[in-house]
Amino acid sequence: MDRVDSLDKFSALQSRLVAALDPGSPTIVVPAGTCGQVSGANELVRRARQVLLERNLAERVRLRVTGCHGFCEMEPSVLIEPEGTFYPKVNPADMARIVEAVADGAVVEDLLFLEPATGARVRKQADLPFFRKQVRTILSRNEKVDPTRLDSYIENGGYSALARALRQGDPRWVVDEVRASGLRGRGGAGFPTGLKWQRLAEQPNGRGKFIVCNADEGDPGAYMDRSVLEGNPHSIIEGMVIGAYGTGATEGIVYVRNEYPLAVKHLAAALQQARELGILGRDILGTGFSFDIRMVKGAGAFVCGEETALLRSIEGLMGEPRQRPPFPVQKGIAGKPTAINNVETWANVPIIIQEGGDKFAKIGTPNNTGTKIFSLVGKVRNTGLIEVPMGITIREIISDIGGGPSGKVPVKAVQTGGPSGGCIPVERFDLPIDYDSLTKAGSIMGSGGMIVMDENTCMVDVAKYFTNFLKDESCGKCFTCRKGTQRMHEILDGVSKGEGGPEQLDLLEELALVVKDTTMCGLGQTAPNPVLSTLRYFRQEYLEHIEGRRCRAGVCKELITYSINEQCTGCRACVKACPQGAITGTRKERHTIAAAQCIKCGACRSVCQFDAVDVT
């Protein structure tokens, strides 16, 4: 693409691209983010191309490969535009039928989504319960844009927010709009973005300023940032260029984890395209404003998501947080003022500038504006990425969007905010999701992980899992964080084995409070949250482990025994599955498990079709 050297030429290019679009032409959209590709989206694309070429349909039916749309449970899926027909879990063998139906303007009824509650077929994506309650301002762009093509982004209104900001000719206008929007940092802490930008803008611009996009998403089970980077890398670039214009930053850095190869690939291509078009580099769109972005790949330390550790990592040092103040906005990379925002925050910026800060502020609740993407995972029927307005209740998310529990047992709690977050019990599911109420409930917003747990989840085991993660991922600088997480894990491990007495719980709580109080960075200060929140809401379960030597969820191996009840038909399935040879019994008679040999792996229970294996 040729370099565009003025705002007018850019607008002309955009109108030319939009005019060439025919909104009515049938299009097959295949979401192929990392999640889609793993479940087989590439094969669907290959089949679709083949059929289109074989039947000479390539002129009439278009094919678009996009990033993740969010409904990961149903991937690989296919979306048909303009009607919005949705085909879940498509088998490559069925692709030919779908392509032909699209060419004829028909629908393949038997491949449509089957609503489990009513047994009815649902045709349109917008009518699916998963999508109905969502407000998808960021994720809906993932559906429209082919992340590898700059044309595709521009024809969907891309970079027009940047053009609008540049036309205003006043950097202060940008900062004011972002302040008016009330946008708060989506990385978890919820610091007002506009305020951060204003402080950066106020810094003297002697030797340059930096803005950083934090794409070091490390929470287990969270992948919002990945899907935005993979599905719409230009929106991040646009957000950063707008941010640079507003704050006077001279250099941008995207710190992305190297474990996201597709995101790295798409972002690298997008940076190159933007540079060729004249969106990045010297004299952007002929306005005399210069700014460039480079990518730094992280080496996989969770703590590098913390802003001061991230800065050190960018400088090539060990990822280790340092004392704030001085804040990065005063002294950041190489001592220069630096503002760090999360991927999702940057993705919100073009929307705010395009639609206006006041309009953005109307979504959500006062002081918690806009939408937030969550990755809804765990024991819930519809897993995937959801984008909801702030202030929606947990119950709405889990029951309406998530479709309730995935198994037969009811939901017990939800864990928000990744390893540093806390567990919220089902009694408090009417809690609105926003920064302040989650913090009050003992959890955090975090970057947006949401893990649903049912009655088969042991809360002691959950706390133990997260402290185990944190004791490995703490940088180890602060003694209380390093040793505190180790000691918390040690005590929790004891509890899960039924060791010790109730005084262990008091010690655990005392230690957790001190760790929260005395560590330097956000990782340590939030590390005790999984322990404190489970102790607060599920203390009874802890006591059962210690006093009754019982794990009601049947998870803690030291406290459970496997046995076979009278439901057993003697089918011998469990005998074959047992890796220890601990199950004996003759065909068509009730089997028995030898407790001495049993390693409590649960293999017998998962193969049994008659619910004959009990865990007590």
Partner 1 sequence: MINLAINGLPVSVEAGTTLLEAARFVGFPIPTLCHMDGLSPYGACRLCVVEIGDGPRARLVSSCTYPAEEGLKVRTASSRVVRARRMVIELLLASCPQSKVIQDLASAHGVRQQRFKQEHEDCILCGLCVRMCEEQMMAKAIGFRGRGEKRSIGTPFDVKSDLCRLCGGCMYVCPACQLRCTYTEPEKAICGGCANLAPPCLEKEQFDDLMCYMDPCVACEIRKDR
**CB-wise, 299 or 594, nearer to partner 1?**
299
DSSP H helices, 396-501, are: 435-440, 459-473, 479-496
Q: At a CB cut-off of 8 Å and minimum separation 6, what does 110 contact?
A: none
Which CB sits closer to partner 1, 281 or 476? 476
The sign of the dihedral angle between the CA atoms of 137, 138, 139, 140 is positive
**CA dist., res. 257 & res. 217, Å (int):** 7
Minimum CB distance to partner 1 smaller for 115 or for 490: 490
- Give the binding site for partner 1 (CB under 8 A): 301, 303, 318-320, 322-323, 325-326, 470-480, 482-487, 490, 507, 510-511, 514, 517-520
Shortest CA distance to 371 belongs to which of 382, 383, 360? 360
Using CA atoms, how far apart are residues 576 and 607, in angstroms rounded to an integer?
10
Q: Which is nearer to partner 1, 373 or 478 (CB)?
A: 478
Q: Which residue lies nearer to partner 1 by CB, 62 or 483?
A: 483
Phi-psi region of 98 (alpha: psi -120 to 50; beta: other; left: phi over 0): alpha
Positions of E strands within 84-169: 85-87, 113-114, 121-122
What are the phi and psi torsion angles at 577 (to 5°)?
Answer: -80, -25
Q: Provide the phi-psi class of 255: left if phi over 0, else alpha when psi is between -120 and 50, else beta.
A: beta
Calculate the dihedral angle through the C-alpha atoms of 271, 1, 10, 282, rounding to the nearest 10 degrees. 50
Minimum Å distance from CB 547 to partner 1?
19
Least spacing, CB of residue 513 vs partner 1, in Å: 8
Question: Shortest approach of partner 1 to residue 349 CB, angstroms?
Answer: 29
Whole-angstrom distance, CA of residue 558 vs CA of residue 493: 10
Question: 286 or 500: whose CB is closer to partner 1?
Answer: 500
**Contact predicate 469/419, CB 8 Å:** yes
Closest approach of Cβ 467 to partner 1, in Å? Answer: 11
Q: What type of residue sits at position 273?
A: Q
Q: How far is the CB of 307 from partner 1 (least distance, A)?
A: 16
| Residue 326 CB, nearest approach to partner 1 (Å) | 8
| Nearer to partner 1 among residue 518 and residue 580 (C-beta) | 518
Spatial contact of 384 and 130, defined as CB atoms under 8 Å apart: yes
Measured distance CA(548)–CA(527) in Å, rounded: 28
In whole angstroms, how close is the CB of 535 to partner 1 at the nearest point? Answer: 17
How far apart CA 120 and CA 252 sit, in angstroms, is 50
CB of 537 to partner 1, least distance (A): 22
The β-bridge relationship of strands 411-416 and 121-122 is: unpaired
Shortest separation between residue 546's beta carbon and partner 1, angstroms: 15
Backbone angles phi, psi at 420, to 5 degrees: -95, 0
Least CB distance to partner 1 at residue 481 (A): 8
CB 126 within 8 A of CB 132: yes
Give least dist CB 561 to partner 1, A. Answer: 27
What beta strand segments (E) does 177-277 contain?
A: 210-215, 251-257
CB of 560 to partner 1, least distance (A): 25
Q: Considering beta carbons, is residue 289 or 327 the nearer one to partner 1?
A: 327
Nearer to partner 1, 153 or 302 (CB): 302
* 42/367 with CB nearer partner 1: 367
Closest CA to 490 of 466, 512, 517, 468: 468
How long is the chain? Answer: 616
Specify the residue for token string 């185990």. Answer: 468
* Cβ-based nearer residue to partner 1, 108 or 195: 195
Task: Please identify, using beta-carbon distances, which residue of 60 and 440 lies nearer to partner 1.
Answer: 440
Instruction: Tell me how far apart the alpha carbons of residues 235 and 4 are, in angstroms, rounded to a whole number.
Output: 18
What's the closest the beta carbon of residue 511 comes to partner 1, in angstroms? 6
Instruction: Identify which of residues 242 and 311 has a Cβ nearer to partner 1 in the complex.
Output: 311
The answer to whether the beta carbons of residues 390 and 369 sit under 8 Å apart is yes
